[in-house]
Amino acid sequence: MTRASSTAADRIYSILEGAGKPLNTREIHERLNNYESHWKSGRVSKTQVGYTMIQVSQVLSKSRWFKKVGEETNYSVYGHKNGTIPTYVVADYPSIIEVMLTKTHRVLNPKRFPKFVKDEWVKQGGVI
């Protein structure tokens, strides 16, 4: 994952964890572009990076840290059915990391993982 993708994955993770329910790609995209960072000093800053729907869709569909759980019908402005939108939740990443740590050959570089995955990686005994 590139830096931009891992940053997006971190933010999508916090959005999905905060929601507590599956969200579709459109809802995640809207919340991601209105994302606020809360600092320890109490300062709040809005994101200056706007993600496109394609970027959000690719991070969600290609990342192993998110799981597709269903689809919702997409309606156009005029009320016509316009296809489906997938809904996502956070995958069970501790068990994914556990399997990854048992493998002897890892192609992925742990330094490129999102922050929430890095924390779990170190917690389970991995080295970054």
Per-residue pLDDT reduced to its tens digit, 43-98: 777 766 788 999 999 999 999 899 999 999 888 778 788 889 999 999 998 888 88
**Is pLDDT of 3 > 80?**
no
3-state DSSP percent of the chain in helix, strand and coil, to 5: 45, 20, 35
User: What sign for the dihedral angle of Cα 105, 112, 90, 39?
Assistant: positive
CATH of the domain at 16: 1.10.10.10
Q: Which two tokens stand for residue 24?
A: 């579709």
**Is pLDDT of 1 > 60?**
no
Task: Give the per-residue pLDDT at 15.
Answer: 92
Q: Please check whether residue 122 lies inside any domain of the structure.
A: no
| pLDDT band with cut points at 50, 70 and 90 for residue 21 | very high
Residue with tokens 């799981």: 67
Q: Please check whether residue 106 lies inside any domain of the structure.
A: no
Q: Which residues lie below 8 Å from residue 115, measured CB to CB, with a gap of 6+?
A: 6, 10
Number of folded domains in the chain? 1
Write out the residue range of the structural domain in which residue 54 sits: 3-91
Secondary structure (3-state) at 85: strand
The mean of the pLDDT values for the chain is 85
Q: Please check whether residue 117 lies inside any domain of the structure.
A: no
| pLDDT band with cut points at 50, 70 and 90 for residue 28 | very high
How far apart (Å, rounded) are the C-alpha atoms in residues 110 and 64?
Answer: 14
Q: Please check whether residue 31 lies inside any domain of the structure.
A: yes
The pTM of this model reads 0.80
**Four-CA torsion 56, 61, 64, 70, nearest 10 degrees:** 110
Q: Please check whether residue 96 lies inside any domain of the structure.
A: no
Q: Please check whether residue 73 lies inside any domain of the structure.
A: yes
Q: Please check whether residue 114 lies inside any domain of the structure.
A: no
How far apart (Å, rounded) are the C-alpha atoms in residues 61 and 8?
Answer: 13
How far apart (Å, rounded) are the C-alpha atoms in residues 100 and 55?
Answer: 26
